[in-house]
Amino acid sequence: MKRREFARLAGLSVIAISATGFLKFNGENYVADCVTTTDILGPFYRPDSPLRTNLVIKDMPGEIVELSGKIRHKDCLTAYKNAKIELWHCSHDGVYDNSSDEFRYRGTTISDDEGKYKFITQMPVPYDTGGGNYRPAHFHLLITANGYKSLITQIYFKDDPYLLSDPSSSSPQAKERILKLKKNNDIYKIGFDCNMNDVLKVTDDSIQKITGEYRNIGTGTVVTFFARDGDLWVKNEVFGKIYTYSGNNSFEYGGLPEGMFEKLDFKLEKDGEVSLTKTTSYGDGKQKVNRFKRLKAL
């Protein structure tokens, strides 16, 4: 369907479409050469973490780590002032603080006039996600900058024994995000610069047209979709899981390893009803399709 026809029929208004970063010719086509790759959000994101750069907890185990870098516009050169950078990670025993008022190992900062940001925290550890499947140690980052897609990514560390067995860290997309720890005066230092990028996006008013409670036609379970900062979220036990717009009334869960995807296809009916088809690909040729019907709009 042409974009004009899609916008007229579905009512989701496109507000941003552009190329990402610099482009270079690789012999066959033009590709971006400075994009900061995305990663899964994970199940433990919490919004509204305190505005602070020091996340160190006194008398708790863990090497001190300084994470710093720059946030840049899509040209990969111009500093982005006032970007919001959220950082979160697990504790020394592999636990995320999902409920306390202390927001342990969670913090937010704002990039300065030169796009710079910095956090001081303690080193996270690998942890078992169940059945002996370990995630390598990692930092989560969510960067929000007006005019751009929210950037969700993760940082990993070289020589971690679980890098190759974890689907996200072993993905080719994670190659430039596996960083070397350098120790200086008993503090490990990591530099990580991020370049923002535009994507096809819809207006907040348009996203509101598809938010609400949906019932799985097969299982009867109910899920709730809501809008935040121009993105679509589905509620989970902690806060939510984010999906980004991919065109034609579809949203995708970003950062999955190559060959895997999770896609939401919404259909707006003439009577105002909304239906949803969720397609999940597991990367081994197998797919699962679930169908939902909206029960109540938000």
Statement to judge: residues 59 and 99 lie in one domain: yes
Q: Within this chain, do residues 152 and 291 fall inside the same structural domain, yes or no?
A: no
b/e map 50-76, b = 16+ CB within 10 Å: eeebebebeeeebeebbbebbbbbbeb
Do 74 and 168 lie in a common domain? yes
Q: Residue 130 is which amino acid? A: G
pLDDT of residue 258: 81
Instruction: Examine the fold and report which residue of 144, 170, 195 is the final residue of a domain before the chain moves on.
Output: 195
Q: Are residues 131 and 160 in the same domain?
A: yes
Q: Are residues 277 and 211 in the same domain?
A: yes
Name the token pair of 53.
């750069």
Is the same domain home to 39 and 97? yes
- pTM attached to this predicted model: 0.82
Picking from 180, 195, 210, the residue at the C-terminal end of a domain is 195
Please choose, from the candidates 278, 107, 82, the residue with its C-alpha nearest in 3D space to the C-alpha of residue 196.
82
Do 11 and 30 sit in the same domain of this protein?
Answer: no
pLDDT at 29: 42
User: Using one digit for the tens of pLDDT, what is the confidence trace for 148-187?
Assistant: 888 999 999 999 999 999 999 999 989 999 999 989 888 9
Check whether residue 45 and residue 165 sit in a common domain: yes
Q: What is the pLDDT at residue 166?
A: 94
Residue 33, pLDDT score:
53
Q: Which domain holds residue 222?
A: 3-16+200-297
What parts of the chain have a pLDDT lower than 50?
Answer: 1-32
Count of structural domains within the chain: 2
CATH number for the domain spanning 171: value is 2.60.130.10
- Distance, in Å, from the CA atom of 214 to the CA atom of 10, rounded to the nearest integer, reads 18
Residues 155 and 204 in one domain: no
